[in-house]
């Protein structure tokens, strides 16, 4: 495997100087037009907070199954809480994914207008009672990642030669999902095509992935038509574009297929943060990304409509 995923220092995105922000944006542009995957360094999220998130995650997944299932996400109106092993199938025609998870998102009270209006994925979170710091840790981390995602969206706007604030309305009251994932070691004799996480693209705009040290993430490389590894790199996040960015840019920016195969023989933990956008926002092809000879490949859709359809496909 000779292809590599680039590492981009994004310190320039926090600079008051436009030229510094543009320099980062142009690096992002190259990665987005290639495979839509890149690492970011100098992102500003503290290592101490990341370690706390992993520590709380491991403690939760170490609980007996019956304890975890007390906050099963089937009890939630908003897909929040615990998801058991083999509950999701991201790659059609293959065995269910060999992972278990925990979902959290923006907190909405049951009497809030969004919940009363039955907006998609709006509702209260479910938190494990056994760990007093679990809720505050995850809420703190989610808030930091949302701020980081908004900086990245501004970088994307600059990379597309748009006003830096072009995506701000999309980012307002965005659908956000924080997932804690646990991948048991792959069995010695797995079912045919069994994976920790089947090959798929992500639904939303951006995914910000925090990995432990076990590895296993693979990205489909269009150049070599093969899988390339995205190994853990200390101090970085893996960033990948989701389907909404591909729709916006008429596939000029790539939402690339990826998967997880945990062959480490050890437990694997990861923490993806999904930034989905404002539910009411209409995503349609950018004018500069289409022409008479290159019409739009996608019909316009709202963020909410798109997410409802993608959840339907993967949870059947």
Q: pLDDT for 184-208, tens place per residue? A: 887 766 666 766 777 889 999 999 9
d(CA 215, CA 5): 14
**Confidence class for position 96, pLDDT limits 50, 70, 90:** confident
| Per-residue pLDDT, 3 | 62
The tokens 């938190």 sit on which residue?
Answer: 127
pLDDT at 2 over 80: no
Residue ranges covered by each domain of the chain: 7-86+99-186+200-315
The Cα 200–Cα 117 span in angstroms is 31
Token pair for 225 = 């038509």
User: 5: Cβ–Cβ under 8 A, 6 or more apart, which residues?
Assistant: 31, 35, 37, 38, 39, 219, 228, 230, 238
- CA 26 from chain center: how many Å? 22
Tracing tokens 């009251």 back to the chain, one arrives at: 173
Superfamily of domain 7-86+99-186+200-315 in the CATH hierarchy: B-lactam Antibiotic, Isopenicillin N Synthase; Chain (2.60.120.330)
Starting at the edge strand found earlier in the chain, the sheet holding 206-211 runs: 7-9, 37-41, 237-241, 206-211, 268-277, 175-183, 100-105, 81-83
pLDDT at residue number 1: 38
Q: Is 82 helix (H, G, I), strand (E, B) or coil?
A: strand
Q: In the predicted model, is pLDDT for residue 83 greater than 70?
A: yes
- CA-based R_g, the chain, Å: 19
Q: What is the pTM of this model?
A: 0.94
């Amino acid at each position: 495997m000779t292809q590599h995923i680039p590492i981009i220092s994004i310190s320039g995105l926090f600079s008051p100087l436009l030229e510094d922000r543009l320099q980062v944006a142009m690096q992002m542009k190259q990665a987005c037009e290639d495979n839509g995957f890149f690492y970011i360094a100098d992102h500003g999220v503290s290592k101490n907070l990341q370690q706390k998130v992993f520590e709380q995650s491991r403690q939760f997944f170490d609980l007996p199954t019956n304890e975890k299932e007390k906050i099963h996400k089937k009890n939630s109106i908003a897909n929040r809480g615990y998801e058991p092993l083999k509950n999701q199938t991201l790659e059609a025609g293959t065995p269910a994914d060999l992972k278990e998870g925990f979902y959290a998102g923006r907190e909405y009270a049951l009497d809030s207008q969004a919940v009363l209006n039955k907006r998609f994925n709006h509702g209260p979170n479910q938190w494990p009672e056994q760990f007093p710091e679990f809720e505050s840790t995850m809420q703190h981390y989610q808030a930091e990642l949302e701020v980081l995602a908004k900086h990245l969206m501004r970088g994307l706007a600059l990379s597309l030669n748009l006003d830096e604030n072009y995506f701000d309305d999309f980012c307002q009251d965005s659908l956000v999902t924080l997932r804690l994932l646990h991948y048991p070691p792959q069995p010695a004799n797995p079912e045919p095509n069994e994976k920790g996480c089947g090959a798929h693209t992500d639904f939303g705009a951006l995914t910000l992935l925090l990995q432990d040290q076990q590895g296993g993430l693979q990205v489909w490389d269009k150049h070599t038509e093969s899988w390339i590894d995205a190994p853990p790199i200390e101090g970085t996040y893996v960033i990948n574009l989701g389907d909404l960015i591909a729709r916006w840019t008429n596939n000029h920016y790539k939402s690339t297929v990826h998967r997880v195969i945990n062959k480490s023989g050890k437990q694997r933990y990861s923490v993806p943060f999904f930034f989905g956008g404002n539910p009411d926002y209409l995503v349609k092809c950018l004018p500069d990304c289409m022409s008479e000879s290159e019409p739009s490949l996608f019909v316009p859709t709202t963020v909410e409509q798109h997410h409802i359809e993608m959840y339907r496909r993967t949870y059947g």
